[in-house]
Structure 1
């Protein structure tokens, strides 16, 4: 689906996972290298340049070498020149002048695990000082609560470290290999109802030193349900373009629109690395506070991978293992019950990435038994394209249990009523699913069918208006469709005329479409 211009990359204040103490460089300036996240086969990093002198610094240049097998991919807030394995970053026009005590930061995403060597700042050394060998303190105040039939949330108080910050934490469940998290809480999902689980937490600093584990604490899941909707009960979840600026607030949208649940869009790839529209690392739990607020209000949030823009993760990752690791990291970071995969463009006709995704999703459901997976695919009034059918077949044959096949009922580029076309697309898709899942009943197949139109003016100039919305909601209610969505919530909020990434270009009041779709109860 279409999305707006992405955020300018601004990663100041990101949680540091590896910190190298700065050394003084020429003119009293210094440069400190830090990894803001690390996934083994690559990492995200930054340099902070600080003017420690007494006069204004008018420009800066940071140079370093990377070992063989490592390289710089995307970067921000600097200009880059490269000579073999030697990288030179210079300031942009907006961040080159630094008053005494001021700092500037630039960053990049690296492929490979090698870190900078032979660093120079304006010709002076910026090599590291002696290594840090002191572990953080043991996390305290560990508790287990917020129980549902399939999840428990572990919380603790922050540890301290001699470096001044703790990089992250590791949570072990019932003595198993730990899960790396940031922040001071972790939600374990895919658990069995009415079952006791034990958790321990330890802290990790930027240099990789780990504390001892905390004492084990236990919690018990409920018989089912719990706060928020249980699996399969998110019936309306419109997409929110989280790359819009200012960043949308889903809790505010819920309050104004009457909707309870949303689909956050989109996680794409920077190399084989899950990223929010190439700007934020989901491992850091970006916008998780919004998800927590939606869940506290009785709703839930789907996170959608893919979309019409950016690099698709299944195409960027070359192995099932690496792709699964990225999906798993996002599910763990947000305690997901729902994950959506919006497959468009060249990705719909790429057999290698389709099969890789299907195998990774099957593994993901094995690791998170309560996880509901939806595929969002292009459609015509006559149904899924041949490529879309192949994607569903691949998931089925890999052992993926699909919650919903969600069709993008939009942009047909033909003269037709777009309300009628959305209904026809749903009917056609349900009939196709019947051939793919012959053992399922009609009711089960309708429950697997989702429809997502584009509000107001589509990219092809045709209109899906309020009457079309009421028609679709009425049809969905009669057939008990698995899900309704729409593209896109911010456009409905703005209720404006203008660029399609922010306006519907039809007469409406704010959230008028949302209030129609909120009437769908499954």
Structure 2
């Protein structure tokens, strides 16, 4: 499977009324942290009965992929689905079951808002439509591929938009998810982090994707090395202690066979990674994706991990993460 990865005011009475008008449940209580332990899930390929997943695993939050451009500076799910359609129903169902969500903007493929919105303020406006529509506590910006991640102008535009939506939505938290090397962020990733400080973007959590970077081997060890590298760069950039830098770090793994044929993240690997995450109190521990959290079902695909595992094994591990 090739991963398709992966303006004003806080929530006003008008935004709340809009949410009600499309049948959305209110945001979940503060006890549910949508950033901390929220596996990715997508609507385009099965297993979107989130109530059943929550009941089977105990997981309380999901990262919903992906919000994209409809061809202009306007957000739609996968670039085609209305904010008030089936995805709104999905959010409603998760919240009705006592959970919450963090929508993810971007990913590997599709047309990105970062490239189609021509200014930071316009991009912030696009983010705000989604924030207001769903009364959000957090958003994930999945920045990868050449269109956003490797374009300095777009990087800065995204960070400028983050600064605006953070100012206009007190309490909103922002995750930025980026590719990584085994030793930590690449030069491109380091630039993004450095610019976040220079521009005052105040990103709450930086999350690396520690997969698709090796020829196989111990994926638990390489994941830990990648996150340590992220922590070290955050520490040197912001002048934080190790503890503070770890608490602004996170990871988004991939269950089972990754996009690289030789790479496999086993259930044992993922348990080891959770132990590491807990020991450092990482801000985010997740994986791509709950839809494929099934084993003994053939090769790696959008609905199968490609390994021998129990159903929901990875989701249960995430559900047990408390930071």
Query: 1 CA distance for matches of 2:294 and 2:307?
Result: 13
Listed one character per residue, the Cα deviations across residues 304-348 of structure 1 (whole Å, up to 9, x for unaligned) are: 000011011111111223211111100000111110000111021
Considering fraction of residues, name the structure with more helix.
Answer: 2
* Residue of 168, 186, 190 corresponding to 1:389: 190
Query: 2 CA distance for matches of 1:496 and 1:509?
Result: 11
Pair 423,457 (structure 1): closer, same or farther in 2 beyond 3 Å:
same
Q: Give 1:42-121 correspondences, 5 Å limit.
A: none
- The answer for the alignment partner of 1:418 in structure 2 is 219
Does the CA-based 8 Å contact 1:419-1:464 persist in structure 2?
Answer: yes
- Which structure: larger Rg? 1
Does the CA-based 8 Å contact 1:242-1:248 persist in structure 2?
Answer: yes
Displacement after TM superposition at 1:183 (Å): 2.2
Q: CA RMSD in A?
A: 2.8
Q: Give 1:345-384 correspondences, 5 Å limit.
A: 345-346=145-146, 347-384=148-185
Query: 1 CA distance for matches of 2:150 and 2:68?
Result: 18
Pair 1:183-2:13 in alignment: no
Q: Unpaired runs of 5+ in structure 1?
A: 6-149, 155-170, 174-178, 190-225
Considering fraction of residues, name the structure with more strand.
Answer: 1
TM-score by length of 2: 0.89
Pair 1:459-2:259 in alignment: yes
Listed one character per residue, the Cα deviations across residues 263-319 of structure 1 (whole Å, up to 9, x for unaligned) are: 00011112222111122122x264233323333444321100000110111111112
Listed one character per residue, the Cα deviations across residues 164-204 of structure 1 (whole Å, up to 9, x for unaligned) are: xxxxxxx289xxxxx97682568999xxxxxxxxxxxxxxx
- The answer for the alignment partner of 2:114 in structure 1 is 314
- The answer for the alignment partner of 2:78 in structure 1 is 277
SS at structure 1 position matched to 2:204: strand
SS at structure 2 position matched to 1:419: helix
Query: 1 CA distance for matches of 2:199 and 2:184?
Result: 23
Does the CA-based 8 Å contact 2:15-2:133 persist in structure 1?
Answer: no
Pair 4,389 (structure 1): closer, same or farther in 2 beyond 3 Å:
closer
- The answer for the alignment partner of 1:29 in structure 2 is none
Pair 181,321 (structure 1): closer, same or farther in 2 beyond 3 Å:
farther
Listed one character per residue, the Cα deviations across residues 126-183 of structure 1 (whole Å, up to 9, x for unaligned) are: xxxxxxxxxxxxxxxxxxxxxxxx968x6xxxxxxxxxxxxxxxx289xxxxx97682
Query: 2 CA distance for matches of 1:290 and 1:418?
Result: 32
Query: 2 CA distance for matches of 1:464 and 1:381?
Result: 14
Query: 1 CA distance for matches of 2:295 and 2:48?
Result: 11
Higher RCO (Cα < 8 Å, 6 or more apart): 2
Displacement after TM superposition at 1:520 (Å): 1.3
Flag as ranges the 4+ runs of structure 1 deviating above 4 A. Answer: 179-182, 184-189
- The answer for the alignment partner of 1:74 in structure 2 is none
Pair 1:444-2:217 in alignment: no
Pair 1:435-2:236 in alignment: yes
Displacement after TM superposition at 1:386 (Å): 0.8
Displacement after TM superposition at 1:463 (Å): 0.6
Does the CA-based 8 Å contact 2:250-2:285 persist in structure 1?
Answer: yes
SS at structure 2 position matched to 1:323: helix
- The answer for the alignment partner of 2:274 in structure 1 is 473
Does the CA-based 8 Å contact 1:343-1:375 persist in structure 2?
Answer: yes
Listed one character per residue, the Cα deviations across residues 347-390 of structure 1 (whole Å, up to 9, x for unaligned) are: 21101111111111111111111111000000111100111111
Does the CA-based 8 Å contact 2:34-2:102 persist in structure 1?
Answer: no
TM-score by length of 1: 0.56
SS at structure 2 position matched to 1:481: coil
Query: 2 CA distance for matches of 1:508 and 1:172?
Result: 43
Deviates more, 1:390-399 or 1:271-280: 390-399
